[in-house]
Amino acid sequence: MINNGLPVLPDPIKGVFFDMDGVLYDSMGAHADAWNLAFHFFGFDFSPEMVYRNEGRTAQSTINLVFQQEKNRDATEQEIEQIYFKKTEIIADFPDAVAFDGALALMKELSEKSVSIWVVTGSSQDKFLNALLEDFSGYVDKSRIINGQDVQHGKPHPEPYLMALKRSGLASHEVVVIENAPLGIQSAKGAGIFTIAVNTGILDDQVLWDSGADRVYKNMLELTF
């Protein structure tokens, strides 16, 4: 394999940490629309582009970001609750997110090679976590999911990926992260992990390279280990 000066993949790879939205599921369009509509309902502007750029933040952090931009202050707990409730309500009416082509096959391949499979997501909604367990049954286990409620600091902080390292007992040089979002890539790189980006959204590849991605691919179908 020609590396073109790019960092070399860990060898052997003992674990793969998957992000969920935008990596395993074609769900970011729905999240972008739901955030956009929820903020619009309360008189704020938050474009889909901004959703993609800030993907991976907790709901609280996302709402505070908009309040800081438009009101120069954080949102109150009540405001956060109201807007998040609205967003949850809107997305509940959307069709269920579909897993990306290639995601299940990749997990099967990894599983056959005895590679440990983890999911590290900022999401903490039961609806999505239960779907994950069902859709990737046999490969994803509840004990190997780090969700938004497991951490104090969401992405871009390295805590989610550091926690996955700690719980898996794997070292950063034995693991690969698959992410789609700038803040997720920053989080993974902050934890010292080789990070593959799949650019399934609307951002330029360069945004993902600039965030520190070690590889950038178009989709899960291009990935093999």
Residues near Ca ion (CB under 5 A) are: 19, 21-22, 180-181
Q: Which is nearer to Ca ion, 19 or 174 (CB)?
A: 19
In whole angstroms, what is the distance from residue 206 CA to residue 14 CA?
29
Q: At its nearest, how many Å lie between Ca ion and the CB of residue 83?
A: 20
User: How many Cβ atoms from other residues are within 10 Å of residue 43's Cβ?
Assistant: 7
Q: Which is nearer to Ca ion, 21 or 174 (CB)?
A: 21
- Which helix (H) or strand (E) is 20 found in, with range? none
Check: CB of residue 29 under 8 Å from CB of residue 129.
Answer: no
In whole angstroms, what is the distance from residue 225 CA to residue 177 CA?
12
Check: CB of residue 127 under 8 Å from CB of residue 96.
Answer: no
Token output for 6: 């790019």
Burial class (CB in 10 A: 0-12, 13-18, 19+), 142: exposed
Q: Which is nearer to Ca ion, 76 or 149 (CB)?
A: 149
Q: Which is nearer to Ca ion, 181 or 207 (CB)?
A: 181
Q: Which is nearer to Ca ion, 21 or 159 (CB)?
A: 21
Token output for 37: 């509509």
Q: At its nearest, how many Å lie between Ca ion and the CB of residue 122?
A: 8
Residue whose Cβ sits closest to Ca ion: 22
At residue 166, the 3 state secondary structure works out as helix
